[in-house]
Amino acid sequence: MELSFGEMALIAIAIVVLFGPDKLPQIARDLGAGVRKMRGAVEDIKTEIMKETDNPVSEIKREIEKVKDAAKDFNPIKDIDKNSVGEPQADVVASAPKPADDESHEGPVSR
């Protein structure tokens, strides 16, 4: 809501006529106190909203940390070695010839 200078002057004159010049300082103090209380209430509401919206983020961060901790202990090679019959998988991969050493290796084929 925008007020022009003329509208503000008209409101000021109406206030002076209604309340008198001796009450203007008290009205201004009360109006200022009301504005400060309103700003404080808005700030409190903003703080509460930020706390509530931050809470799910912190829960997600905790879950991510749990997954990271579980991933540190996870070693699929151990599971493969325990379940494999015969020669371990690591030896099979190590004994396979490298593509650079294999003359029959043609590399990727583009179409």
Q: How far is CA 83 from CA 63, 79, 93, in A?
A: 30, 6, 17
- Asked if residue 24 belongs to a domain, the reply is yes
Query: CB-based contacts of 99: which residues, under 8 Å, 6+ apart?
Result: 105, 107
Q: Is the pLDDT of residue 44 over 90?
A: yes
- Asked if residue 50 belongs to a domain, the reply is yes
Domain that holds residue 32: 15-83
Q: What total number of domains does the chain contain?
A: 1
Query: CB-based contacts of 62: which residues, under 8 Å, 6+ apart?
Result: none
- Asked if residue 42 belongs to a domain, the reply is yes
Please write the tens of the pLDDT for every residue from 51-94: 877 677 777 888 899 888 888 877 777 767 666 655 555 555 55
- What radius of gyration do the chain's Cα atoms show? 38
- Asked if residue 110 belongs to a domain, the reply is no
- Asked if residue 95 belongs to a domain, the reply is no
- Asked if residue 68 belongs to a domain, the reply is yes
| pTM assigned to the model | 0.40
